[in-house]
Chains A and B, each alone.
Chain A
Amino acid sequence: MSLLEAKNLTHVFPEGTVAIKDISLKINSGEFVIIAGANGSGKTVFIRHLNGLLVPTKGEVLINGKPIKKNITLARRKIGLIFQDSDSQIVGQTVAEDVAFGPENLNLPIAEVEKAVRESLEIVGISDLSTKSPHTLSGGQKKKLAVAGVLAMNPNIIIFDEPLAGLDYPGVVQVLRQLDELHKAGNTIILVTHELEKTLAHADRLVIFHKGELVEDGKPEDVIYCSEKYGVRMPLRNGGEIGSMTWLR
């Protein structure tokens, strides 16, 4: 049984735009899946269905074989979503307060909240910034804060929506290192990006969306060669290898 499964997901906006159409996808435990696609291909709409932020017009999402709509809080706890714009995700006036937001929503005892905050900040390596205002952090640090906020809820799956957008080289390296460490620690990672040259080496699977449909799903080496016809730059040039598609090395 898959850890997470989307079954025939379709989402039509009220004005009639079909954002995603009949998408089925299974994610297994421990996988690192990249979802790529051109702008407007439905990636963000799709991932927002995975933890129940959007309700599908048709289809359903299952976590461990059970529909998420039966226990939406559990789904949101188990599926952490890191938004493209970190500023939108920050709700606390200090780093620690922001990380505590999730555990406090779960009504955990205060000692557990503090423990979760401490551990999450340690994992992402920003414990020393716990009393700082989030708005004074750099782009990379804000991403780390967003990750810590999600980790504090102890998720099984972490979804990153365009985490590298707008980051400079050190910022990209910071985020990639974080992704790599989270995956090595046993988390299931879903990464939404079209910057394959920076990330593909880490992926077990590459899924491509095009005009709201899932058009390719397979091992990166099998899928990558057809990416350009769906508006995603094919990163392998001059005999490059998939293993070199990272900014970590």
Chain B
Amino acid sequence: MDGRIKLLCMVLLSLSASFASEWQHYLTLLSLVFIALIITKLPIIALLKDMKFFAIIILIVLFTNAFNVPGDPIPGFPIERVSMQGVITGLRFAGRLITIIMVCTVVTGTTSLLTFKNVIEWYLRPVPFIPEVRIATMISLTFALIPVIFDSYTEIMNAQKSRCIELRKNPIKRVNFIVFPLLGQILRRADEIVYAMESRCYSEVRTRALFKINKLDWFILAICATSLLFVVA
């Protein structure tokens, strides 16, 4: 699927989720997400398990609404402050969050970072005063550097542990001993990367990615646009 259409679909479905208020809306959107999950052959069980990391946020949203939105008390429920309207509002917010998270999961799980970079560059191209190639390179470098930074952190952490850093009582000093060497390493590495990029003729006038949209892409986009219309109407 064309990366540009995929990103557009993600935006349309997320917007649909943001405007969703009735159960039919959620049912439609979640059905679309599940069809996408099946078609893309992503590991559904593993993805649902990963959702547990968002469970806390979803619960906070649910409880905050349940306790703070004024309304009628729930008959037979022991806590009086919890209102029926609050629970419904909380469930709506939670539903929106779950839908958006799942849409994003499907898109990120089926799109390479390279495609993302190219798509962002493509979308930013017509925006005046925005250096789209530089932004795309920054995104690319950020993702390339994340594992290196984690490796450096682990190495520094282990080196400090081997010299009994845990015996230091002052937590600020302990953090200092890790943050400053890590920052130093990151800056040195950034310098090296600049040299490496320069030595490979880094230029912002570079080969552009080719995109190709087929009929299926337009069809999927139409479905996403229709779902937004259905929710908004």
Contact = CB atoms under 8 A, between A and B. Distances in A.
Given A48-B195, A91-B193, A97-B114, A149 B207 contact: no
A91 B197 contact: yes
Q: How large is the interface on A (under 10, 10 to 19, 20 to 34, 35 or more residues)?
A: 35 or more
B34 interface: no
A73 interface: yes
Name the residue in B112, B144, B199, B201 with the highest tally of chain A Cβ atoms < 10 Å from its Cβ.
Answer: B199
B46 interface: no
B200 A107 contact: no
A230 interface: no
A105 interface: yes
Nearest to A90: B144
Name the residue in A80, A92, A108 with the highest tally of chain B Cβ atoms < 10 Å from its Cβ.
Answer: A92
A91 B196 contact: yes
A53 B140 contact: no
Given A76-B201, A149-B200, A153-B200, A104 B207 contact: yes
Contacts of B168: none
Contacts of A53: 195, 198-199
B201 A105 contact: yes
A105 B113 contact: no
Given A93-B112, A93-B113, A93-B114, A106 B201 contact: yes
B125 interface: no
Contacts of B114: 92-94, 97
B143 A88 contact: no
A90 B113 CA distance: 15
B210 interface: yes
B60 interface: no
A91 B165 CA distance: 34
Contacts of B151: 135
A81 B207 contact: no
B202 interface: yes
Contacts of A92: 114, 140, 144
A204 interface: no
B200 A102 contact: yes
Interface in B180-226: 189, 192-193, 195-203, 205-210
Contacts of B179: none
Contacts of B140: 91-93
Contacts of B192: 83, 85, 88-89
Contact of A107 (B148, B193, B203): B203
B143 A93 contact: yes
A77 interface: yes
B147 interface: yes
Given A91-B144, A93-B143, A77 B195 contact: no
A28 to B, nearest CB: 22
A107 B113 contact: no
A103 B148 CA distance: 24
A107 B196 contact: no
Contacts of B200: 76, 101-102, 105, 149-150, 153
Interface string B29-62: 0000000000000000000000000000000000
A201 B22 CA distance: 78
A83 B207 contact: no
A102 B201 contact: yes
Contacts of A88: 189, 192-193, 195-196
8 contacts: A51-B199, A91-B196, A94-B112, A100-B207, A104-B207, A107-B203, A113-B207, A153-B201
Given A76-B198, A83-B199, A108-B207, 17 more contacts: A53-B199, A73-B203, A76-B201, A80-B199, A83-B192, A85-B192, A87-B189, A88-B192, A93-B112, A93-B114, A93-B144, A94-B114, A102-B201, A103-B207, A104-B207, A110-B209, A135-B151
Interface of B: 112-114, 140-141, 143-144, 147-148, 151, 189, 192-193, 195-203, 205-210
